[in-house]
Chains A and B, each alone.
Chain A
Amino acid sequence: MNLIAPVLLQILELALALVLAPLLTGWVNQCRAWLQNRSAPPLLQPYRQFAKLFEKEVVLAHNASSLFRAAPYIIFACMALASMIVPTLSTDLPFGPAADAIALVGIFALARVFIALAGMDVGTAFGSLGARREMLIGFLAEPALLMVFFTASLISQSTSLSTIVETFASREFAIYPSLAFAGVAFTMVSLAENARIPVDNPTTHLELTMIHEAMILEYSGRHLAFIEWAAELKLYVYSCLGLALFFPWGVPQGADLSNLPLALASLLPKLAIGGALLALIETLSAKMRIFRAPEFLGTAFMLAVLGMLVHLLLETGK
Chain B
Amino acid sequence: MSHYYGQIINLLAAVMLLLSFAMLGQRRILSLINLFMLQGAVLCTSTVTVALVTGQSHLYWSALLTLLLKVLLLPWLLHRLIRRLNVKWDVETLINIPTTMLIGIVLVVFSFNMALPISQLAGTVSRSTLGIAMAVVMLSFLMMITRSKAVPQVIGFLSMENGLFFAATSATYGMPMVVELGIALDVLIGMVILGVFFFQIRERFDSLDIRHLEKLKDD
Contact = CB atoms under 8 A, between A and B. Distances in A.
Given A181-B18, A295-B97, A302-B105, A313 B8 contact: no
Contacts of B129: 314
B105 A314 contact: no
B98 A177 contact: no
A310 B9 CA distance: 13
Kindly state the interface size class of chain B when it binds its partner: 20 to 34
Contacts of A70: none
A312 B13 contact: no
B21 A310 contact: no
A181 B120 CA distance: 25
A294 B98 CA distance: 8
Nearest to A177: B14
B108 interface: yes
B107 to A, nearest CB: 11
Interface in A284-318: 294-295, 298-299, 302-303, 305-306, 309-310, 312-315, 317-318
Kindly state the interface size class of chain A when it binds its partner: 20 to 34
Contacts of A309: 105, 108-109, 112
Q: Chain A: interface secondary structure?
A: helix
A303 B13 CA distance: 15
A178 B131 CA distance: 15
A177 B11 contact: yes
A310 B11 CA distance: 10
Interface of A: 174-175, 177-178, 180-181, 294-295, 298-299, 302-303, 305-306, 309-310, 312-315, 317-318
16 contacts: A175-B8, A177-B10, A177-B14, A177-B15, A180-B14, A181-B14, A298-B98, A299-B101, A306-B108, A309-B105, A310-B17, A313-B112, A313-B131, A314-B129, A317-B116, A317-B119
